[in-house]
Amino acid sequence: MGTSWSVHAVAPTAGLREEITGVLDRIIAEMSHWARDSHLSRFNRAEPGRWQPLPPGFATVLTAALDVAQASGGAFDPAMGLLANLWGFGPAGPRDGVPSDREVADALALSGVRHIEQDGARARRLSHATLDFSGIAKGHAVDAVAERLLALGIADVLVEIGGELRGEGIKPDGQPWWVDVEAAPGAPVAPIRVALHGLSIATSGDYRRSFRHEGRDYAHTLDPRTGRPLANAVASVTVLHPSAMRADAWATALGVLGPEGMALAAREGLAAHMVVRGGGEHLSPAFAAMLG
């Protein structure tokens, strides 16, 4: 996944590291778009129209991704792999310069969840659209590790992968797992600390991965509606949710929607915090209630 992981567990059992790496290795084998032999890479190479069986984790992530895509009006879209590659954020690696309007339009025409069909444990693509789970798989991995540890009887644990976290139970001192909301560099906002007790936190930000061309920064988050990197001044979005996978996807979706997306967060009951460069902070009612 190109990132690190850490686990804080109270009263860990023997062989815990092997259990964790086993979960992560399985997820990489299923959903890595960097590994050519992963299930995801094979799905993206298969002939359009042909149904393909999905491993359980892959099916779970695709179902959740399609759910958030629909609920967000397309602001989150797992079938943007062609465009991620085009902009230099995919497995093809960085590119020189930026793509032309024609290149973007051509890739956008083939992309999007309208080209993906799922039927339980099988799915197919209807065009040469390619899946890219970068906006959801990390959260799924956090959930998978946490749930494996809970199944082993480890009730008090904090799991972190690349800045996405899930906390279960409490620390030895009886306190919950307190974590700081990730701060966007250069954004003058006060620190926020939250308690993760049966709760996950995920942050999407314009500072995490980008490139600069002719004096302009291009962030890695793409707007599925335009096929282009975001240009709405959103510095970061943080979402709290019982599921790290859902928090991960919703943080991306709300970042695409910008401040107008906070009304959707309120309707969905999402605990969300948004920082806009030059536009201050935006808190959903559920997030404000947690601070209160």
* Residue whose tokens read 């599925």: 224
pLDDT of residue 260: 95
CA dist., res. 105 & res. 182, Å (int): 34
CA dist., res. 2 & res. 248, Å (int): 16
pLDDT of residue 211: 66
* 271: number of Cβ within 10 Å: 23
- Residue type present at position 12: P
Helix (H) or strand (E) holding 39: helix 39-45
pLDDT of residue 159: 98
pLDDT of residue 212: 76
Rg (CA), the chain: 19
pLDDT of residue 210: 66
* Six-digit token string for 112: 């999007």
pLDDT of residue 79: 97
DSSP string for 203-228: EEETTSSEEEETTEEEES-EETTTTE
Catalogue the E-assigned strands of 54-156: 116-119, 122-125
pLDDT of residue 59: 98
* pLDDT tens digit sequence for 42-77: 999 999 999 999 999 999 999 999 999 999 999 999
**In which residue ranges of the chain is pLDDT below 70?**
207-208, 210-211, 214-215, 292
* pLDDT tens digit sequence for 89-114: 988 888 888 999 999 999 999 999 99
